[in-house]
Structure 1
Amino acid sequence: MTPSFLRDLAVLTIKSPAEASRVLLGLNVPREALWTGLALVAVLNGLLFALTNLLVPGPSPLPEVFLVPSLYTVLVAGGLLLSIYALYWTGRLMGGTGTLDEIMMAILWLQGLRVVLMVIVIVLIMTVPALSALLVFAASIYGLYILVHFVNQAHRLNSLPKSAGVLVASTAAILLGLTLLISLFGGPTSGLSANV
């Protein structure tokens, strides 16, 4: 894949997400390359997170333990894996026929674009902060639209509402799973007296 091909595919992703996802899924990238891509995306996220903290220090919504770049990288990798498997299984339960590799390819491509967006946002934070906030908001909304198309193509659902349902169901499954894990491993329980 040449830089010009990646650039053209990025533009196509913005202009026509469904067509871009069909091109992407037709590449048949080997599974080993996908796992390497996942690690690369996680590391790049960690580096950009550390750079952002250096350039614009301030309060973070994350617990302090995750402010260490290496732990943040592990958190990103774990979140990506959870998302990929949740989208795969919920899509299959809703009649989708996509493979795990296809879902992984779609998510990794979108995460790669997110890394590029983060670089642009960091530059804007240092130059035009108001524009950076607007870009993040617009990219978040439009990113969901793109993701719905990518899931639709990867699972061959032929229905954007059904694809949106897969996203909602997978998000609910992730939240439920995380809630169960937190409760199993002694997370905080609200409303219970310490003497009970």
Structure 2
Amino acid sequence: MDFKSLAIETITDPAAAADKILSHQFENDVIWTGFALNVVLSVFLYALQGFLLGMPSNALFPNLSPVMFGMFLVALQLAYSVGSLVVGNRLGGQARFMPIFSLLVWLRFVNIAIQFIAIIMVFVMAPLAAILNLVAAVYGIYVLAHFTNVGFGLNSLGKSLGVIFMAGLGAMVAVLFLMGLFVPTILETSNV
């Protein structure tokens, strides 16, 4: 599989890219390895941005160590995957966990590449980096809606947006719950 052309197709024709990923039927160990790699790369970018720019790379997880950021990122991604599966199937979709998870793992790799470009652009032209982040966030929802639509066979971008909203809300509640359980304990033990 040519990942460069797949990344371009993900941006230019997200529905076709999602079909291509699903038709490939990756083995479970490949998907879990990809998930682990995207968490490691995300943590690396979080730490790199903190080092180069003196600020955390994610407003949801301010001032967390890279390890804690990674733990909460894992929780958020898994909660979103499970939430989208529950909501998508309730809205008439037909999907299993691993195919949907493979789509989300791929989208995370594309997102990491865009984040890396944005970090580089901060040093070249900061306002352009801010615009790239904004456009990527808005267009990313469009791409995710197409991936969700294809993954569940919903035949409705409106239902896909409903899946994204409800699964995202559920994932945020789960992560905030985990932060409420673990962050105070971590802060107490670190004498902060």
| 2:142 alignment partner AA | Y
Instruction: Work out whether 1:121 is the aligned partner of 2:118.
Output: yes
What secondary structure, in the 3-state scheme, does the structure 1 residue paired with 2:19 have? helix
Q: Within 2, Cα distance between the matches of 1:162 and 1:14?
A: 21
Residue by residue over 1:38-63, the C-alpha shift from the partner in whole angstroms, topping out at 9 and shown as x without a partner, is 11100000011111111101377434
Instruction: Work out whether 1:131 is the aligned partner of 2:128.
Output: yes
Q: Within 1, Cα distance between the matches of 2:76 and 2:137?
A: 17
1:104 deviates by 0.5
Question: Would the alpha carbon gap of residues 53 and 85 (structure 1) be closer, same or farther in structure 2, given more than 3 Å must change?
Answer: same
| 2:138 alignment partner AA | I
- Residue equivalent to 1:76: 73
Consecutive unaligned residues of structure 2, counting only runs of 5 or more, are 185-192
| 2:44 alignment partner AA | L
Trace 1:23-172 onto structure 2 (pairs within 5 A). 23-58=20-55, 61=59, 62-64=61-63, 66=64, 68-172=65-169
Question: Would the alpha carbon gap of residues 147 and 182 (structure 1) be closer, same or farther in structure 2, given more than 3 Å must change?
Answer: same
Question: Would the alpha carbon gap of residues 112 and 164 (structure 1) be closer, same or farther in structure 2, given more than 3 Å must change?
Answer: same
Q: Within 1, Cα distance between the matches of 2:70 and 2:138?
A: 24
Identical-residue share of aligned pairs (%): 29
Q: Within 1, Cα distance between the matches of 2:177 and 2:88?
A: 22
Q: Within 1, Cα distance between the matches of 2:178 and 2:39?
A: 22
- Residue equivalent to 1:11: 8
| 2:21 alignment partner AA | L
Residue by residue over 1:63-120, the C-alpha shift from the partner in whole angstroms, topping out at 9 and shown as x without a partner, is 43x2x11221122111111111111111111111011111101101110001111111
TM-score when normalising by structure 2: 0.87
RMSD of the TM alignment (CA)? Answer: 2.1
1:175 deviates by 3.8
1:180 deviates by 5.7
What secondary structure, in the 3-state scheme, does the structure 2 residue paired with 1:80 have? helix
Larger Rg: 1
The answer to whether the 8 Å contact 2:85/2:97 transfers is yes
Question: Would the alpha carbon gap of residues 127 and 112 (structure 1) be closer, same or farther in structure 2, given more than 3 Å must change?
Answer: same
| 1:134 alignment partner AA | I
Consecutive unaligned residues of structure 1, counting only runs of 5 or more, are 189-196
Question: Would the alpha carbon gap of residues 161 and 176 (structure 1) be closer, same or farther in structure 2, given more than 3 Å must change?
Answer: same
Question: Would the alpha carbon gap of residues 44 and 181 (structure 1) be closer, same or farther in structure 2, given more than 3 Å must change?
Answer: closer
